[in-house]
Amino acid sequence: MDCMIHRQALSSKTLPTLLQSTLDEIIQVVNFIEGSALNSRLFKQPCEGMDANHQLLLYHTKVCWLSKGNVTKRVIELRDELNLFFQESSMLEFLSWLNDAEWIIRLGYLTDIFGQLNKLNLQMQGRNTNIIKFVDCLKAFIDKLGNWKRKVAVKNVGTFENLDMILVENSNQIPSSIQLAITAHLKRLEEKFRSYSLK
């Protein structure tokens, strides 16, 4: 069963180029701060000053794919603090990403989809997990992917909480390029999970 879960983890590595480049940039932002003790201490200051729920980012590791969901969630929660930190540090490249409406929309989607994959992984583990429960979870997730894909194709993103919140905050509709990337990603995920469920 662990091998099957590992296969599901690998299927999360199906991001289209647009989303993969955003994920790489998110990781650069996090690693810039958390890879330096000085930057990490300096970042705590705006977090404390703005009464943030968190005072640090979560360091990303390629070894643990589950960390992607936690990393993106923390970035979305601390984006105002990150914005202030990079303004004060004059890190214009990172600042440009955080002020790019489409980049934030992509961040919202990545946070949501990795959160869903993390949730699936947790459902498939534990002492009471057996092959029947595993297959049921897998089939239910495949159905969700198909449903999400159909909804995103008509610009309905209500099932993606962070993505929907960002669009509502900015009174935006999802840009076509991002809509296509998300639809392609959901389709690839669905295909991967279906192929694994048949093995």
pLDDT in tens, 115-154: 998 888 888 777 777 778 888 888 999 999 999 999 999 9
Domain that holds residue 103: 2-197
Amino acid of residue 117: L
**Cα–chain center distance at 127:** 28
Average pLDDT of the chain? 81
Amino acid of residue 199: K
SS3 assignment, position 15:
coil
**Cα–chain center distance at 179:** 15
Cα–Cα dist 167/114, whole Å: 19
Number of domains composing the chain: 1
Query: Residue 127: how many CB atoms within 10 A of its CB?
Result: 5
Residues 193, 19 contacting (CB under 8 angstroms) = no
Q: Is 126 left (phi over 0), alpha (psi -120 to 50) or beta?
A: left
| Prediction pTM value | 0.84
Tokens standing for 104?
A: 């934030």
**Cα–chain center distance at 79:** 14
In terms of residues, how long is the chain? Answer: 199
Residue 171: pLDDT band by 50, 70, 90 thresholds? confident
**Mind listing the pLDDT tens digit for each residue in 49-102?**
555 554 445 444 443 444 677 788 888 988 888 898 899 888 899 999 999 999
Tokens standing for 85?
A: 């930190």
Which pLDDT does position 47 carry in this prediction? 65
Which pLDDT does position 131 carry in this prediction? 79
Closest to 25 (Cα-Cα) out of 110, 89, 144, 118: 110
Tokens standing for 124?
A: 């498939």
